[in-house]
Structure 1
Amino acid sequence: MIVRFYGRSMTTSATYAVNNVELSAETYGDPADPAVLLIHGAGASMLWWDARLCTELAARGRFVIRYDQRDTGRSTSFPTGEPGYAMSDLAADAVGLLDALGVERAHVVAQSMSGGTALMLGVDHASRVASLTFVSTSTGDDGLPPPSADMPRLGTPDFADAAAVEEYVVRSIEAEAAGHFDESEARALVREDMARARNYEASLTNHFAMTFDGPRNGGFGDLTMPVLVLHGDADPLLPLPHGESIRDAVPDARLAVLAGMGHGLSAPYWKTFVDELVAHTEER
């Protein structure tokens, strides 16, 4: 374990044995504060929750946990195209990580595809979830609008060409950003992500190849904890009706629309995100 101090804030980095895999995780802040578990979307390592954002949230009195899911970052990687696991295994990993960290209940924040993981946590592991926040995600119901026709078709990169892979991911970030795109920041993120990944091709492939099972004990309408939905009204991948579908499906859910935000949680929206999350995760 690596422990670092930034002023009064403590950051730890460690690898945990969970469900027969290794999960790399970092924590920010005081473990005595309410825990916030950040789960990013398909193919995204913990780096996609920016360390500056995590530090800001910790400074507001939250114990922040970010981690590499299977097939991302420094966590266990599976053969490309053959993950051999299901989304329910990703939910079980999240519970196992909370166990390893000694966290009884956490406020779970899920981005994009990981909204399905958060749903499983909220329905099948409800005792471990203090609240849920869905960021740029969806119920997946039939009839919801497809991605914007303006989004470019990027195809598949040549994974033997590192420069081509980097360019592909940078351009993907740009396509989803709805104008809030900083190329130097995006390129730095992608380069760091590629450098620390066990298998970057598997990172960009396996979450789409896993088994998409559902919760065993219900659906969105069965969530009993407080639910916040954060969604950009300029999201080109999952247009705003996707976020509205969660609000409508979950009793007493609250939707906060972030004007002008695309699919990713870009830096101009960090303050709003932190403000909304801090209010949502006040001890109840």
Structure 2
Amino acid sequence: MLAYSTYSEAGGVGKTTTAANLAVAHARAGLKPLVVPLDPQDGDLSRLFGVDDHRTESVDNLVRHMIRRPKGDFDALIRTVEGVDIIPEHNMLSDLTEYLQREKDQAEAMGEAFGMHAQLLRVLQEANVPENYDVLICDPPATEGPHLYNAINATRSLVIPVEPSAKGRAAVEGLESLVSGFEDQLDIEVGVLAALPIGFKDTRDQRAIMNEIDYPIPEVIGERASLMEGCWMEQCSAFTYVREHRDRRRDYELETLAQFDRVARHLEEQVGLDAPNPPEPGDVDHEVLQT
């Protein structure tokens, strides 16, 4: 199984839209992806796909499973959009740290172990996610803490959107120490499958910044604010937005879709995962055939 978390220290670089569009790109190729968004903010992946309608209700959710108090089966949490299975975010995520700490204290009082940063991994393993899915994508918040650590512990790999700017330069400079810090904190090995520059305008400064990135860069995505804003407005991926909500198809937007397709193939190749029905990159009318 291919597993990765989309992560960037810098906010506003398109982390969530990257996760969403890569998930759809995997699904377009006939693979079965599961997306686990872990950001407690309202502008999250569940909102992007329009499956955040129960986040304020007293319903079963991922946090309840992580603290060993589920109200139902794991499979009942899942919503499916554009061929992608998603576990919607719930407002309980805002207090995840407190819930996990309380559970840890209670477990230790009973002489039991409770790893605060291993609970998502446990839930996914108990639900047989590695056997039932081809791809696992976690979309955690940028800030360090149990949300991020649980995501990285569950996936062990990162895809890092990078802003080619002065702010992005600082993030790039800290990538190596950041990954080392995750490994020390969680006592695991963390790999970087790809860095993905987004908002590239081909300036000299941007080229200099990209030359400093030591991780694989399968594609460089240009400025696509209008396309991504349209996705949020219509609550869909860029593939669906171009296919169903654009009055005409723009070549540069079709190229962006092709880039997401190519990045998905790059990531699959890193773990030897063969997609059964890969589209011609950027073919928005490709028929999705899933086994």
Taking structure 2 as the reference length, the TM-score comes to 0.33
Flag the structure with higher helix content.
2
Structure possessing the higher radius of gyration over alpha carbons = 2
Taking structure 1 as the reference length, the TM-score comes to 0.34
Greater length-normalized contact order (CA 8 Å, ≥ 6 residues apart): 2
